[in-house]
Structure 1
Amino acid sequence: MPQAAAFRRPPAEVMRLDRMGCSHPTRLSFLRQLLRRMKAETWVFDRPVWDMDVRGVGRAVYRMRFAGGSLSLVAFGHDLPDHRRSDRVIATAWDATFALFDGTPDTGDLERLQANVPLQEAGRVTSRELSLSRANRSVRLFDHVVKRLAAGQQPDARMLRETGYLMRTTAVYGSGKFGAADRAMIAGRPALSAPFQAEMLSVWLTRAFTVDLVEHLAQARGGDRAVRLCADLRRGLGVGNSTGLGMAPFLVRHPVLLNNWMMAREEALARVRAQESAGEAALAGFRDALDAARDNAADWQSDHPVQQARLADLRVGLARLERFAARDWQTTAPHPWDALWRWGTVHLPLEAQEALLAAMLEPHGALIDGLGACMEAEEEAHFGIDGTMRVAELRRILEEHYDWALGTDYGDPRHCGRFWYISEEKLEPRLGERFEEAGAARELPLDTGRQAAALRDALHEEACDTPVARLLLAFPEHRLMVRRAQIAARHPFAEIRDNLIAAELLPIDLLRCKLAFFGATRFDPRSDRWVRISLFQGAPYPDELHREAAP
């Protein structure tokens, strides 16, 4: 659709943290791609193992079979004392632990996994495992649901809506961690080729396990009086997740992948805006999406002041959008979707603008779902530096793609107040206060803006026709930034156009952007450095997947 190019938002507008930190999940999110693939390919689900005692201790296997193979989530339930329950990454015990197994595990596999998976980082898995994860109960709600079901009653619907999950994962590891299969080993397999498909499948099957577990415990306690969770309440539950700074640098370290994610979403929006008319089915789907967004905003709670302000903006903005769509939107005029978007950019706060984007994409699956195939990346292919490029061209790239960074005084504490480093204890990224904490000497090179400014300064005395290779012989410290600049020249959405070491940086903006691409909802910061979210809330369960329309 060549005409869509005229409707694309520029990277300078899209790649700012204040907007990225307002991202909402769309139908291109990775969990939605997974659900559509499983339905289209008629994956078959079963639970060949359920060996749980009356305390919920034991093991279970959830299997998905498809053309060419099978994948199985192996789940272990534990009796965890309250004093050992923690969402922190340094925890050593959990209510449940999981591994996604490549194939169908036999007894030997289960025994091996049982000896290792409950230990998580302290154990080891093999390349037969695609992910390793763990979860804790949302204790008050979990116990309430078990008690009510055991007594033959349904749990309080308001409590379920407010929390939205019975368990929350505290880590879902993949891509070679602790011996699991490396991404390169599965990237060529159609079932897992889209980003984070193994991790999303693991979480989806974990959701089934949590509901099975509360019903099992209720039946063990209540016997014949016990009832199962009703379909509506069951459907409203997702899987919670606690995520911290370890995820934040991912978007910086994978510029081509970030470009492909953002480009796909922006192309989807441009295609919708380019439509010359709006059909009745699309209009009805849009209104349904708005209704769902309004209901989600009403139930979405947060104690963090930044997110509280954004939620207020979202609720006010959605109400304003609903009034405009019902009264003033000329749906029969030419390019009605573009008119709606242009109105939104003027009259809606950023939070509501990004919610509008998701709602506009929702009824246009036939137009945009194919873009999901463009969201993976072979980043190694872009790693090499073109040493023949001339300094004049490198200067032009910096001025075009890094103009946001070149005028900043990085000697001012406001613009360099923080630094990224690797925690010695957990070997994961952390954020330090440069003028209050030691460790800046071990700073990670995530200061893209400062690097771009330093490279520009290094080019000041260089002749225009100097090859980049000669420049880097004299200044090898600029290799990383030269590589990033050359990538950005070919991938316009590769760079976050903000200062990632500024004193006012909100790392949660990075987290929200990435989590929205996963498909996360209920973004709830617990500080500026870690958040809780929900995954798969409202999605079908394995036994429901083939009974309804594609997600």
Structure 2
Amino acid sequence: MMRLAAIKASLRGPNALPLRPVDQVMDLERLGAMHQSRLSFMRILVRRIMLERWQIDTARLDLCADGYGTVIYEINTPQGLFSFVIFSDYLSPEERNDRVIASKWDLTMALVEGRVDDEYLAFLRQNVPLQEAGRVDSRVFVLSRANRSARNFDYVVEQLANGEQPDVAKIAKVGYLYRTTAVYGSGKLGMADWDKVSSRYPDFARPFAAEMFACLMLRNFSLLQVEHIARSRNPQQYNPMQPEIKRYFGIGNSTGLGMAPYLINHPMLINQWVEMRELALALVRTLGHIDESVRRQFDVLLARSARHMAETLTEDAWQTENNRRVIEDLAALQQQASHSLTDWNELLAWSEQHCSLQGQELLVSVLLELYPQLVDGLDDYYCVEEFLDLDPLMPLQQLKAVIERRYDWALKTDFSQTGARDIFWYRSEEKMEPRLGECALDTGKEKQMALGVGYAVYKCYQQLCQYIQEHPQHTTARFMVARPKLRGIVRRIQSMDRCVYGDIQANLLARDILPMHLLRCKLSFFGVSKFDPRSKLWVRNTMYQGAPLLEDIGKIYNDDWFMPLAPGQQGEA
């Protein structure tokens, strides 16, 4: 904590760290252009596992020849014992459905505190496969489910059973064997809530650490299962998968609107994530001389990133064009750096003039990759106490000034313009999942979620100005008595003024809002790659591609799986 205090102290004064402006960083389109980095949750988790040498063993392997049955892994960490329980069941093609409305899956899983005996296993077997229709207890941290890849799973089994390796070019099109459709935690369905996990289990006390670990274990099981089925099918010819090909398999993920409200409902936490990333960039920007080894690594990472983007396939025309432009940006950055590279500030400024937003933000991720000694320690500060406190003694003139300074983006929005308030967000009654409604077509606006922060601030400001005309000397307390319905937004305004970055600057009620930016922002903090939008409301992506395997734990670890490439391409890059 002393290091963070020293860094934050350097934000002030004549020699302050060069943080990027709030209106630049918190712009929704820029947030939606971010990429994975060293500070992404998957990278942080894998670093911890590898450096602390967690012991992960198969305590129970009860699979039939076709891969159906039960598997239990036991995880011994420096600070606890946990179990990861997997139920693999037959799923007919007619029942397979990746949408949240599905009721059956190929795999269902649970991350559990302690060792699982037969009695507790029976309890889990009754409830985990039901997912939302079941109920678990507070020993469970995470519930998840996943379906096999129709394009890869059977193909890989067949190749291994015939003594051959999967074709890397085919794998590159779909870099996973399973795709998870939901990962639940934080108290849902009877599970342990975040207060319990963060206070009692330090191994998973960082945001989404338990959820990310469940996905990592799913990836390991997917590799174990295909080899198990292939060996059972043809033991004479069976050939295990080569380790470099194994590492290229990740886990697929389908993410929809469920993630979007989180970014709005946890503003202080999102501010903290963004602030740590911007602090890391600021520390890099303060460096003077760039030595020759860093220059060479910079060239390698740019080339690797370009190859990674070229290997990212999508049927979405918008994303295809984005990827093409990023590849052009990377080539331009490499050329510019070869001609003139005296410091990173200069290159960042050049990128803002000549590159797309996604190209600019990928450059940020590459710069963070170059300096682990500056960056890695900041992951200790991702948690924050989320209290939106009301300051009743704040003079109303000061509250008005805060809104004008911190929420000028909301005051500049013309909410009377056609399309500015055409959308409302709500939760479906069946699955309690977020949905978008159109005010002109759909009923239920009275049950909308409070995600229109910009409009709420705008309305608050209008009423505040009217009140100040009559009572210019009053405090916030008197204003709250007169306007009690504004208490929530005033509390948010005052609390976010204590943050460096604050709220996402976007009107989420506008007809042309693109929720994809919200999804991608959060997914970039998770550490996913290869975004493949299926509409403006949901996206497929890949997790843990290139990450080390469980059998790599205990070996030398250099944490170099940023923008992974298909095997055989690493040296070329």
Structure 1 length-normalised TM: 0.96
The structure 2 residue matched to 1:297, chosen from 290, 306, 309, is 309
| Cα distance in 1, alignment partners of residues 42 and 212 from structure 2 | 6
Specify the code of the residue in structure 2 equivalent to 1:452.
V
Partner of 2:364: 357
| Cα distance in 2, alignment partners of residues 306 and 426 from structure 1 | 30
The structure 2 residue matched to 1:47, chosen from 41, 58, 63, is 58
SS of the aligned residue for 2:465 comes to: coil
User: Residue 464 and residue 546 in structure 1: after superposition, are their counterparts in 2 closer, same or farther (change >3 A)?
Assistant: farther
Deviation per CA, 1:356-384: give whole Å up to 9, x if none.
000000021111111111111111xx222
The structure 1 residue matched to 2:478, chosen from 445, 470, 479, is 470
| Cα distance in 1, alignment partners of residues 427 and 242 from structure 2 | 46
User: Residue 433 and residue 73 in structure 1: after superposition, are their counterparts in 2 closer, same or farther (change >3 A)?
Assistant: same
SS of the aligned residue for 1:62 comes to: strand
Give ranges in structure 1 of 5+ residues lacking alignment: none
Partner of 1:197: 209
- Say if 2:384 is the partner of 1:396: no
- Say if 2:352 is the partner of 1:345: yes
* Structure 1 position 226, deviation (Å): 0.9
Partner of 1:405: 410
- Say if 2:535 is the partner of 1:527: yes
Give ranges in structure 2 of 5+ residues lacking alignment: 1-6, 560-573
Partner of 1:508: 516
Specify the code of the residue in structure 2 equivalent to 1:409.
D
When structure 1 is superposed on structure 2, of 103-112 and 240-249 the one drifting more is 103-112
- Say if 2:375 is the partner of 1:368: yes
* Structure 1 position 291, deviation (Å): 2.8
The structure 2 residue matched to 1:479, chosen from 471, 479, 487, is 487
Contact 2:389 2:492 in 1 (8 A): no
Partner of 2:499: 491
Contact 1:45 1:543 in 2 (8 A): no
Partner of 1:448: 453
When structure 1 is superposed on structure 2, of 410-419 and 358-367 the one drifting more is 410-419
SS of the aligned residue for 1:50 comes to: strand
Deviation per CA, 1:225-248: give whole Å up to 9, x if none.
011111121111110111111111
Contact 1:245 1:430 in 2 (8 A): yes
| Cα distance in 1, alignment partners of residues 110 and 518 from structure 2 | 27
User: Residue 490 and residue 39 in structure 1: after superposition, are their counterparts in 2 closer, same or farther (change >3 A)?
Assistant: same
SS of the aligned residue for 2:91 comes to: coil
Partner of 1:223: 235
* Structure 1 position 133, deviation (Å): 0.1
Specify the code of the residue in structure 1 equivalent to 2:356.
P
Specify the code of the residue in structure 1 equivalent to 2:463.
A
Partner of 2:563: none
SS of the aligned residue for 2:497 comes to: helix
When structure 1 is superposed on structure 2, of 64-73 and 519-528 the one drifting more is 64-73
Partner of 1:149: 160
Deviation per CA, 1:130-170: give whole Å up to 9, x if none.
00000001112111111111111111211111111110100
| Cα distance in 2, alignment partners of residues 494 and 192 from structure 1 | 26
1:317-336 → structure 2 map (5 Å cutoff): 317-325=329-337, 327-330=338-341, 333=342, 336=343
* Structure 1 position 63, deviation (Å): 2.3
The structure 1 residue matched to 2:130, chosen from 119, 122, 131, is 119
| Cα distance in 1, alignment partners of residues 304 and 120 from structure 2 | 43
* Structure 1 position 550, deviation (Å): 4.0
Specify the code of the residue in structure 2 equivalent to 1:545.
I
When structure 1 is superposed on structure 2, of 172-181 and 427-436 the one drifting more is 427-436
| Cα distance in 2, alignment partners of residues 198 and 151 from structure 1 | 37
Partner of 1:460: 465
- Say if 2:420 is the partner of 1:415: yes
* Structure 1 position 323, deviation (Å): 2.2
Specify the code of the residue in structure 2 equivalent to 1:430.
R
SS of the aligned residue for 1:139 comes to: coil
Taking every aligned residue pair, what percent have the same amino acid on both sides?
A: 40
- Say if 2:189 is the partner of 1:178: yes
- Say if 2:247 is the partner of 1:235: yes
* Structure 1 position 280, deviation (Å): 3.6
User: Residue 220 and residue 5 in structure 1: after superposition, are their counterparts in 2 closer, same or farther (change >3 A)?
Assistant: farther
Contact 2:51 2:557 in 1 (8 A): no
Count of equivalent residues: 544
Contact 2:39 2:525 in 1 (8 A): yes
* Structure 1 position 329, deviation (Å): 3.1
Partner of 2:566: none
* Structure 1 position 68, deviation (Å): 2.4
The structure 1 residue matched to 2:289, chosen from 277, 291, 302, is 277
Specify the code of the residue in structure 2 equivalent to 1:441.
E
> How large is the RMSD of aligned CA atoms in angstroms?
1.4
SS of the aligned residue for 1:389 comes to: coil
